[in-house]
Amino acid sequence: MECYSGVEYAELPRKFLWQESWRTVGRIYAERRTVEGKQFEVVDEGGEKFLLIYDARDDRWTIRPLL
């Protein structure tokens, strides 16, 4: 995962690894804070949608494709 981090970690996701291929975030269309961390709904440069979940407790990212 590659993110812009200014005041805090993971302010804006920029790139992520999906199925052995780096994807560039084309647009963030939703962002949420949870008790565990942050979630971003994004569209990559190819138009595919993904949910990027950052769990701050474990310092771990999870990536899920969205339909």
Evaluate if residue 61 carries a pLDDT over 90.
yes
| Residue-wise pLDDT tens digits, 4-59 | 988 888 889 999 999 999 999 999 999 999 999 999 999 999 999 999 999 999 99
Q: Which domain holds residue 7?
A: 2-66
User: Which pLDDT score, from 0 to 100, does residue 8 have?
Assistant: 85
Copy the structure tokens of residue 3. Answer: 């993110």
Contacts of 36 (CB under 8 A, 6+ apart): 55, 56, 57
Helices (H), the chain: none
Contacts of 8 (CB under 8 A, 6+ apart): none
pTM of the model: 0.92
Task: Reduce the DSSP state of residue 50 to 3 states and report it.
Answer: strand
Considering its fold, how many domains does the chain have in total? 1
Copy the structure tokens of residue 57. Answer: 């407790």
